[in-house]
Amino acid sequence: MGTKGREIVGMDVNELIELLNKAFADEWLAYYQYWLGAKVVKGPMKEAVIAELIQHATDELRHADMLAGRIIQLGGTPITKPEDWYKMTNCGYDAPEDPFVKTILDQNIKGEQCAIMTYQKLVQLTATKDPVTYNIVLQILQDEVEHEEDLQSEMEDLEVILAGIAHK
């Protein structure tokens, strides 16, 4: 913990650490959801979707790393037990039990939309109170917005293909 670095935070630091840990839990669950989704996904456009899911998994793990670093700077401890991810998460975990590509995309779009709302709140909360955390959550928000668009544009292509199959 950096003492002066913690002192300049203009809000309740323990409350902030709690919120960052909740987002940290989300990132691990999102990482695993993408990682496993990329393994099991089936259907048209599979290859393109797999590439996207792997890229997103990598990004979510990087987000977990960014949050852990900030939590430690603030004198907190990142969640130590995976079982607590479920207790702390904002966005939950949607198991890729149905491997159909459209279902996987739908689940992950929902996850990204929840992530966008979570980081939007963190951005607003820290904007004038904690520029260091603000910078981190803003970068993550930018990635989540990009993720949603990536998945929705794959979904648009997929719907064209599925409509073509239905008309044959």
Applying CB under 5 A, the residues found at the interface with Fe ion are 27, 60, 63, 144, 147
Taking the least distance from each CB to Fe ion, the nearer of 27 and 154 is 27
Of 144, 102, 104, 108, the closest CA to residue 123 belongs to 144
Taking the least distance from each CB to Fe ion, the nearer of 1 and 59 is 59
Taking the least distance from each CB to Fe ion, the nearer of 22 and 147 is 147
Task: Let me know: does 38 contact 107? Beta carbons within 8 Å.
Answer: no
Q: Residue 133 to residues 3, 71, 122, 140, 159: CA-CA distances in angstroms?
A: 16, 9, 9, 11, 39
Taking the least distance from each CB to Fe ion, the nearer of 125 and 162 is 125
- Taking the complex as a whole, how short is the minimal distance between the CB of residue 147 and Fe ion, in angstroms? 4
Cβ neighbour number for residue 64 with a 10 Å cutoff? 21
- Taking the complex as a whole, how short is the minimal distance between the CB of residue 60 and Fe ion, in angstroms? 4
- Taking the complex as a whole, how short is the minimal distance between the CB of residue 42 and Fe ion, in angstroms? 22
- Taking the complex as a whole, how short is the minimal distance between the CB of residue 69 and Fe ion, in angstroms? 14
Task: Let me know: does 71 contact 20? Beta carbons within 8 Å.
Answer: yes
CA angle 157, 162, 165 (to 5 degrees): 130
Taking the least distance from each CB to Fe ion, the nearer of 144 and 154 is 144
- Taking the complex as a whole, how short is the minimal distance between the CB of residue 30 and Fe ion, in angstroms? 6
Q: What's the CA gap between 111 and 95, in Å, rounded?
A: 11
Q: Who contacts 161 (Cβ-Cβ below 8 Å, separation ≥6)?
A: 44, 45
